[in-house]
Amino acid sequence: MNSKNRFFLFLMLFWGISASAQSIGIIRTDRQQYIDGQNAALLISLAPLHESLEYHVESVVGSQSQRVIQLSDREFAGVLKSLQVGTVLWTVHVYSQNKVFAESVRSQIVIVDKEIVKLKELKSIETDPDKAASLTLAIQNLGQKKADLKSDLALSRSSVGTLTKSINVAASLKSRKVMTEALILSTERVADTFDAGDLLKVDIDIDPLGTGISEEQEFDIVANFNAQSVFAVKTSEVKYKYERQTSISDIGTKSFTASLYGTDKAAVSSLRVAIKNGGTRKIEKEIAKESALSSAHRALYQADIDDLNLILDLLHDVVVNLRQHISTKTIAISIVAPPPVVIVGQSLEVTEGDTVSTSYSVRLSSEPTGTVTISALAALSDVQLSLDGLSGTQSLTLNFDQQNWNANQVVHVKVPDNLVVDGERNTTITHTASGGGLSGQTLPSVALKISESMPKIVCLSSLPPIWGPYDGGYYEVSLPHEPSGPVTVQIDSSGWDFILNNGAPGWGASLDFDETNWYIPQAVYISVYDGWMGEGFYTFTQWSDDPSYGSCETEVFYSPY
């Protein structure tokens, strides 16, 4: 060993003492369980070193040496191919070495390798036995020089520690216990039937529990429409959708197929980080190679780049193989000729008394022979139909001709408050056609669900702040309409120290109304028992067992300070 190498060896041993005192790091594989024939990604993450040092890692799987390649300053990876059934032990020996010295030795080794290759090429074409013997001797001397350089580098290293991991390989994976359907396909149409010209929508829902896989998965969908590959849009971690504008040429029964695939989320995340780190290191090596002045350094960097290309390809293959098929489902979709009159919005909901209307649209599916009149009639007289969303009647008419037959005409639907509590109601709006060759045709109807308007008990939404136990306040409560009999309004408080109308702390209060006083406000007086409540907003809720009155809330800010 020359004096320069001895000097670096001294520095390496010095820094190796402090490095070995640190926590070494962790090793892991891309998954916990493997099956016969699979590949395993071996990932090593090590603790930080002094800036003058770098890691050197030697790896053994079972009794065989396993090469690992550096992805970053503290990250290494390898891929173990074609696993066999059983348990193997992966052992990693971690060393530290001086960066400058290690690079100097590696550069010298690269120069020796190039000289050996050159001499071997000369020997292969040499016909003179004496010259061939001389070349053989020169090659042997260079081989010894290379071995000496490797020995110098090995002697300069300090052991940081050893890490181990068991790798379990089974003959086959345990069967998954499917609890529910993992993949659900559905459309918004009855019997999955669409009229030609409609926008076909398929909802794809994934139930993670239904997969029978305990590890969190990263899901993806492969979809086909009528045996043609199509793209399903991901809308959330467990939802996809497929949309297609149908046409007359689509009439018939079509199939939509979705295949669900899953990838172990934790495993693929670790691998992607490793691939990203390796890619970053590759770019750094390529930049260093371009700026290197000596051919030896350029060759050294190219060797590192070749190693990184190898491990990145192997890691990518492992990522691909992590993806496993879970389920495939198919639904049959019927696309039929459109009816003569197209109604969009055949199921509506409206709230009684709501000032904002709901609506549906009407158009013809083909050009008529003359003027067509569509008559709409609501089954309930309470329902008002209009074209402007303002005034309304129980019925109206729409006119179509050769110019406007394919233009949507919008029908607005309202239900004024009849001041009667009649609950939720379901009714219909029917349609008939006359003229233009459509007289007597059966037209779609619109289903209408009417929700009961629920007037709220009248109260203030907020009060002035209450400061401390000696402060207080009040607000007033009344009913929005005359009751059919006596009504008791209960008042609950979210603050346990509030006293309402001189009652017990936290017990709330009640107010009585009937046909004679429902419109007269009754006061609710607030005081505080001892002020131990925390600072913040508190709510008083007014409610009644009478279903014709909705609850209302009053908020107050309280501070004990």
pLDDT digits (tens, 9 = 90+) for 468-478: 888 889 999 99
Structure tokens of 448? 């209408």
Mean pLDDT of 296-322: 85
The strands making up 183-186's β-sheet, listed across from edge to edge, are 183-186, 199-206, 239-245, 233-236
> Phi then psi for 248, rounded to 5 degrees?
-60, -35
pLDDT at 63 over 50: yes
List of residues 6+ apart from 270 with CB closer than 8 A: 28, 30, 43
Which pLDDT value is given to residue 240?
97
Which pLDDT value is given to residue 179?
43
**Nearest C-alpha neighbor of 333 from the set 465, 191, 237, 207:** 191
Mean pLDDT of 274-289: 89
**Nearest C-alpha neighbor of 212 from the set 291, 324, 73:** 324
Residue length, the chain?
A: 561
Mean pLDDT of 450-478: 88
Structure tokens of 102? 């290690």
**Nearest C-alpha neighbor of 88 from the set 108, 114, 59:** 59
Q: Percentage of the chain surpassing pLDDT 70? A: 94
Which pLDDT value is given to residue 21?
34
Which pLDDT value is given to residue 16?
35
Structure tokens of 489? 């309004």
Rg of the chain, C-alpha, whole Å: 40
Which pLDDT value is given to residue 506?
82
Structure tokens of 307? 């190693």
Summarize pLDDT for 45-60 with one digit per residue, the tens. 999 999 999 999 999 9
Q: Which of 62-66, 291-295, 526-530 has the lowest mean pLDDT?
A: 291-295
Mean pLDDT of 531-539: 84
| 329/205 Cα distance (integer angstroms) | 11
Confidence of residue 181 (pLDDT cuts 50, 70, 90): confident
Mean pLDDT of 344-356: 89
| 435/512 Cα distance (integer angstroms) | 62
Residue with tokens 């000596």: 294
Model confidence, pTM: 0.50
**Nearest C-alpha neighbor of 157 from the set 74, 54, 277, 269:** 54
Q: What value does the mean pLDDT of the chain take?
A: 87
Give the H/E segment covering residue 358. Answer: strand 358-364
| 294/167 Cα distance (integer angstroms) | 43
Q: Are 421 and 548 in contact (CB under 8 A)?
A: yes
Mean pLDDT of 274-302: 86
Which pLDDT value is given to residue 542?
95
Mean pLDDT of 225-249: 93
Could you give the domains of the chain? 3-170 (2.60.40.10), 176-338 (2.60.40.10), 341-451 (2.60.40.2030), 466-559 (2.60.40.10)
pLDDT at 482 over 80: yes
Q: What's the distance, Cα to Cα, between the start and end of the chain in Å?
A: 80
Structure tokens of 13? 């041993």
| 428/447 Cα distance (integer angstroms) | 5
pLDDT at 465 over 70: yes
Which pLDDT value is given to residue 304?
87
Structure tokens of 223? 């979809």
**Nearest C-alpha neighbor of 58 from the set 24, 32, 90:** 90
| 102/153 Cα distance (integer angstroms) | 7
Mean pLDDT of 305-323: 86
More confident residue, 16 or 551: 551
Which pLDDT value is given to residue 20?
35
Which pLDDT value is given to residue 531?
61
pLDDT at 17 over 60: no
Residue 308 three-state SS: helix
Distances (CA, A) of 233 to 204, 225, 324, 332, 417: 10, 14, 20, 20, 43
**Nearest C-alpha neighbor of 165 from the set 92, 83, 239:** 92
List of residues 6+ apart from 73 with CB closer than 8 A: 49, 54, 55
Mean pLDDT of 510-518: 95
- The burial of 121, by beta-carbon neighbours within 10 Å (0-12 exposed, 13-18 middle, 19 or more buried), is given as exposed
Which pLDDT value is given to residue 173?
55
Q: Are 559 and 465 in contact (CB under 8 A)?
A: yes
Confidence of residue 22 (pLDDT cuts 50, 70, 90): very low
pLDDT at 33 over 50: yes
Q: Are 98 and 11 in contact (CB under 8 A)?
A: yes
Which pLDDT value is given to residue 523?
94
Structure tokens of 235? 């809308």
Structure tokens of 247? 């046409």
Which pLDDT value is given to residue 6?
41
Give the H/E segment covering residue 525. Answer: strand 522-528
Q: What are the helix and strand counts (H, E) for the chain?
A: 5, 35
| 209/180 Cα distance (integer angstroms) | 7
**Nearest C-alpha neighbor of 321 from the set 260, 270, 267, 279:** 267
pLDDT at 3 over 80: no
**Nearest C-alpha neighbor of 483 from the set 422, 425, 421, 423:** 421
- Rounded to whole angstroms, the maximal C-alpha distance in the chain is 131
Residue with tokens 């052992």: 91
Beta strands in 120-273 (DSSP E): 158-170, 183-186, 193-195, 199-206, 217-225, 228-230, 233-236, 239-245, 252-264
pLDDT at 10 over 60: no
More confident residue, 29 or 235: 235
